[in-house]
Structure 1
């Protein structure tokens, strides 16, 4: 095992076991069954529902049997992304985890520390014979990354706990106390097809940083899908273009780092098309300087004088205009919390299937009316361009709790361990705390976690030292 020499060994052993099981969103049967088997092998009460959510109950240790239960919560799915040159099939293969002793990462892919580390902590606690804790109610949800669908469906009526520690934060010493609400918006555009002859060309966008669309949206990183739409508009404005396909991104809540276009132009317009692409790249390099410096756009002629089944020039131009006027990125900053994004959206996925081009966007806001206004804009844009627009996966924000016994207790334990106060923070990313708070009356919850870098990207890293610190802190809180 690659991580067997890391401490705490009990945590990293469980984490590596999880990494060996494919568990991208929507591909969770195997990992859910693994967690259920783990609990049953230890004689623990466990339930698995139709959405593959898992709830495990463990009694309190000696002297803690009659204490109030504590809920520990995380999600089992990860955003499964990889570099273009990575040969792993993330639907069927595990991750190639590695470490230098300071960080843990996966070669060529995302690591899934978000939120595999939470599951690893929970399993290590459940496996222990000597860690003191009150009764535990462990809630591991599914498909958090694609819309919090597991949390929305889960039945928590059998839980007795009123205090919940969510382990889905990525910064040690930062306690999340509230978060934004959000929704997914899907725009399906029906394209007119025709057979055209000319030069088949391909444009590939790469080198962008990507990252979590809640946490990283404020940095102004390039969105490969938005750039693809811009390129298509620049091309179709100057010459006749017949789009063959457009695609990019792997999750609506991840800023896409790559995208591509295939299209047909007249044979004598290939050089002009290449010049347009190069000029657009030069503009983007200036615009993204200091924010996303390594953007690259390649232009290749694949063939010429060949009949190709493509979208009409009118449909191509219409789609380009639609993407070009879509809002994207930060829409408003909070006036109440300095540096907090209030409202944003991310065009995370574009895909072409048959005669349909689908755009998938993640909308977030800590102000419910602002979220609804932004969704309304997307509905209006879709209506103007004849697209079918649907909204799903809406989840509420998590409101700050003025009086919190759990927060006071966790702050006190942190101060005793580290001699300083933790940072209490509201975030723009979405957490399941809002949904679960609606299912348990008067739920008191806090979100914590160890340091991670560049989650939702192939550059993701988990700090070994921080993972150890949070483990020791979590044990102290429970004790």
Structure 2
């Protein structure tokens, strides 16, 4: 099925992208992809370096007559977000992605596609393997673990790379140039609970919140989609007061940087209240559907009979957890004053789930283009969970990228796009954690820009990349490489 994508144009880029779909590369387990690109560079006879964390750097000399141009670093990340539909048996550590053409798009069967950032990686590989392109000195930088911690970018040492210009190919709207991005930080929360025996005359059910679109917790956060964790605990909060609901297990969300699409809980209610409880769930589903009718109309809340658990979470912890999840902020916190329409600060309640050793873990990812706002939001979220008796660890902080409107590469790429397509590309900042902020701190001399083809629904099983924009993205790369200024 997926081999059909190798026949798309530009063929060189799509062939390399197909190769990447065949290599399992979930975040933090992308070792096979590291070995793949390392061998790729070595087989081409190019200088190839792998650093201590797995970043790979491949150098290609300038073509004849272009030796006097500034050096360009083409950068993409090797890992991908491993999200699958609940009915998928896909194993991201062993199975290839089943990519296929769907009209004007390439998508995948029930999983994330990995166009984020396989498109950027494939473009760099296509330049490295070419024999007929014009370019100055080129370095390809393939980083690891971008999606789950920016590990590769954080560990990159100064002085290894020689280039002057960074082309980050990890943006998701063709015809746009990104000159700034948000920083981020994780809040990792832990509740400890005791086990209570399930009261007699209680009946168990499995609650399933499904059908939400989810998506990227930065790019898609202003779309006001439903958060499965918030919806589930809205139900639990009301039902514990009205029906004496007891919570045994919860599994909400899976990734810190994805809006949770699904959440599940094993609960129990008194048998004599079963009928009214079912009516309550059905009525709440109607309410949620009505609230999300424009942004997430596919949401469902279902109730299925379940085997009675031996134990439930102690009532005090259950209420503290529920209060905290209800109270903690989620979604857009503030819009940017400097760039209308851009989210400045946001947070995503990504994960709530029971874990080992009688613990419940929760994860939030805070984003902001203003570091002080990010810090204040982190303190607010921490305080909310601490008041509920949880332990909170803040980790993984990374800086934003401040726009430079006097950038030389910005002017070059505006001109090349205008000359090729007859219009000036839009200049934007992005509410997502591009690696540019981190990489720029190690290489402050770099002139940086970010761009890419059009990708929709990244970080979700609906992820897809527009075929026509991949060709335009590739042409823009080639024209830019030819127009790189002299040293």
TM range (shorter): over 0.9
Q: Is the contact made by 2:99 and 2:106 (CA closer than 8 Å) also made in structure 1?
A: yes
Question: Which of 348, 352, 355 is matched with 1:353 structurally?
Answer: 355
Residue 155 of structure 1 corresponds to which residue in structure 2?
Answer: 157
Shift of 1:271: 2.5
1:383 and 2:386 correspond: yes
With 334-343 and 30-39 compared, the bigger mean Cα shift is at 334-343
The superposition leaves residues 413-472 of structure 1 with CA deviations (integer Å, 9 ceiling, x where unpaired) of 111111110000112112111011100122211100001111111111111111011101
Q: How does 1:121-136 map to 2 (within 5 A)?
A: 121-136=123-138
Q: How does 1:365-404 map to 2 (within 5 A)?
A: 365-404=368-407
Q: How does 1:135-154 map to 2 (within 5 A)?
A: 135-154=137-156
Shift of 1:307: 5.5
Shift of 1:156: 3.7
Residue 428 of structure 1 corresponds to which residue in structure 2?
Answer: 431
Residue 485 of structure 2 corresponds to which residue in structure 1?
Answer: none
Shift of 1:101: 5.5
Q: Is the contact made by 2:28 and 2:145 (CA closer than 8 Å) also made in structure 1?
A: yes
Output the CA distance in 1 between the equivalents of 2:17 and 2:309. Answer: 51
Output the CA distance in 2 between the equivalents of 1:283 and 1:380. Answer: 30
Unaligned 5+ residue runs, structure 1? none
Residue 327 of structure 2 corresponds to which residue in structure 1?
Answer: 325
How many pairs does the alignment contain? Answer: 477
Shift of 1:145: 1.0
Shift of 1:410: 1.0
Question: Which of 179, 203, 214 is matched with 1:210 structurally?
Answer: 214
Q: How does 1:273-292 map to 2 (within 5 A)?
A: 273-292=277-296
Shift of 1:262: 0.7
Q: Is the contact made by 1:147 and 1:183 (CA closer than 8 Å) also made in structure 2?
A: no
Give the secondary-structure state (helix, strand or coil) at the position aligned to 1:22.
coil
Give the secondary-structure state (helix, strand or coil) at the position aligned to 1:211.
coil
1:441 and 2:449 correspond: no
1:256 and 2:283 correspond: no
Shift of 1:45: 1.3
The superposition leaves residues 238-271 of structure 1 with CA deviations (integer Å, 9 ceiling, x where unpaired) of 1223211111222111111111111122222332
Shift of 1:2: 2.6
Output the CA distance in 1 between the equivalents of 2:152 and 2:353. Answer: 25
Q: Is the contact made by 1:147 and 1:184 (CA closer than 8 Å) also made in structure 2?
A: no
Q: Is the contact made by 1:102 and 1:463 (CA closer than 8 Å) also made in structure 2?
A: yes
Output the CA distance in 1 between the equivalents of 2:89 and 2:236. Answer: 29
| Aligned Cα root-mean-square deviation (Å) | 1.3
The superposition leaves residues 270-325 of structure 1 with CA deviations (integer Å, 9 ceiling, x where unpaired) of 3233233222212212211211111101011213xx46122112221221111000
Q: How does 1:154-303 map to 2 (within 5 A)?
A: 154-197=156-199, 198-303=202-307
Residue 311 of structure 1 corresponds to which residue in structure 2?
Answer: 313
Output the CA distance in 2 between the equivalents of 1:307 and 1:123. Answer: 53
With 55-64 and 444-453 compared, the bigger mean Cα shift is at 55-64
Q: Is the contact made by 2:248 and 2:309 (CA closer than 8 Å) also made in structure 1?
A: no
With 207-216 and 194-203 compared, the bigger mean Cα shift is at 194-203
Unaligned 5+ residue runs, structure 2? 483-487
Residue 460 of structure 2 corresponds to which residue in structure 1?
Answer: 457
* 4+ aligned runs moved over 6 Å, structure 1: none
Output the CA distance in 1 between the equivalents of 2:15 and 2:324. Answer: 48
Q: Is the contact made by 2:170 and 2:450 (CA closer than 8 Å) also made in structure 1?
A: yes
Give the secondary-structure state (helix, strand or coil) at the position aligned to 1:2.
helix
Give the secondary-structure state (helix, strand or coil) at the position aligned to 2:190.
strand
Q: Is the contact made by 2:27 and 2:79 (CA closer than 8 Å) also made in structure 1?
A: yes
The superposition leaves residues 345-401 of structure 1 with CA deviations (integer Å, 9 ceiling, x where unpaired) of 001122211311111111011111111110001111121111111111111110011
Q: Is the contact made by 1:343 and 1:370 (CA closer than 8 Å) also made in structure 2?
A: yes
Q: Is the contact made by 2:320 and 2:389 (CA closer than 8 Å) also made in structure 1?
A: no
Output the CA distance in 2 between the equivalents of 1:277 and 1:332. Answer: 33
With 360-369 and 236-245 compared, the bigger mean Cα shift is at 236-245
Q: Is the contact made by 1:249 and 1:259 (CA closer than 8 Å) also made in structure 2?
A: yes
Give the secondary-structure state (helix, strand or coil) at the position aligned to 1:271.
helix
Q: Is the contact made by 1:205 and 1:224 (CA closer than 8 Å) also made in structure 2?
A: yes
Q: Is the contact made by 2:195 and 2:312 (CA closer than 8 Å) also made in structure 1?
A: yes
Give the secondary-structure state (helix, strand or coil) at the position aligned to 1:189.
strand
Give the secondary-structure state (helix, strand or coil) at the position aligned to 2:4.
coil
Give the secondary-structure state (helix, strand or coil) at the position aligned to 2:6.
coil
Q: Is the contact made by 1:242 and 1:264 (CA closer than 8 Å) also made in structure 2?
A: yes
Give the secondary-structure state (helix, strand or coil) at the position aligned to 1:400.
coil
Output the CA distance in 2 between the equivalents of 1:94 and 1:105. Answer: 13
